[in-house]
Amino acid sequence: MTRRPTVLITGATSGIGQGCAERFARGGYNLVITGRRQQLLDQIADELRQTGADVQTLCFDVRDREASRRVVASIRQELLPIDVLINNAGLALGLEPEYEGNCEDWDTMIETNIKGLLTMTRLIVPKMVERGEGHVINIGSVAGDAAYAGGNVYCATKAAVKALSDGLRIDVAHTAVRVTNVKPGLVETNFSRVRFHGDNDRADHVYQGIKPLTGADIGDVAFYAASAPKHVQIAEVLVLATHQASGSVIHRD
């Protein structure tokens, strides 16, 4: 009997993470999904199991390195090895000028977007290298290519994701482990609501006048990268809404 591969997705309770989980489940993967809200994880896991997937939920914050180690060690044996790691957990907070930024927001973004990604990479990738195969998909952003007004620290964290993806790709070039950096543009998720600390009116304004991408769109891209022939490495993908030209140039009706 052919083994179903396993994908581990961080931040899978909404948006891009949930879109990736749904696409990989439909594509024949078993899943380990993580997030900070157990109730949502359980709800999503029940939906994913309807595809025939085996699903394990891990409730923790990627900023907590010890918790990360503990829960990764609890992954059920039948779901191992992890074939694909999707480092998706991330967020933006605030849109103030750098000289007026909130230091706590900075810490949260850096600890989640950079250090959380590094922690999960450190915990999962050694076994991939040992086996000589696997795939790491980091969810970056168009914001990592060029800063935009008010994006300062968030843009810096996503520039770091690009550099870390490139560096890991170099580090594993002697193996068949593949590394992909997916860089979405405007995606309608909870992203803006989190950025504006729950201000729904301000968040909704971000998507006015344009048809944005969805979490499912990015899930399709991630699945395509994972499904490419073994000799093909989709190193980087920039995905924008049709009327978005860059991180700061958007045509709105």
Task: Give the mean pLDDT per block of 10 residues along the chain (253 residues).
Answer: 93 96 98 96 97 98 97 98 97 94 97 98 98 98 95 97 98 98 90 65 76 96 98 98 91 90
What is the pLDDT, as a whole number, of residue 208? Answer: 84
Q: What is the pLDDT of residue 189?
A: 73
pLDDT at 203: 60
Type of residue numbered 169? R
Pairwise CA distance, residues 59 & 161, whole Å: 23
**Strand order through the sheet with 176-184:** 55-59, 30-35, 6-9, 84-87, 133-139, 176-184, 236-239
Judge whether 154 counts as a catalytic residue.
yes
Catalytic residue among 29, 148, 154, 207: 154
Cβ contacts of 86 within 8 Å, gap of 6 or more:
7, 8, 9, 10, 17, 20, 137, 138, 139, 222
What was the pLDDT predicted at 2?
84
Question: How do 30-35 and 6-9 pair as beta strands?
Answer: parallel
- Owner of token pair 């931040």: 11
For the entire predicted model, the pTM comes to 0.94
Query: What are the Cα distances from residue 156, in Å, to 109, 119, 133, 173, 197?
Result: 10, 18, 30, 26, 20
CB-based contacts of 242: which residues, under 8 Å, 6+ apart? 211
Q: Crossing angle, helix 15-26 and helix 215-227, to 10 degrees? A: 50
Rg (CA), the chain: 17
Three-state secondary structure call for residue 165: helix
User: 40: buried, middle or exposed (CB in 10 Å: 19+, 13-18, 0-12)?
Assistant: middle
**Who's near 47: CB < 8 A, 6+ residues apart?**
22
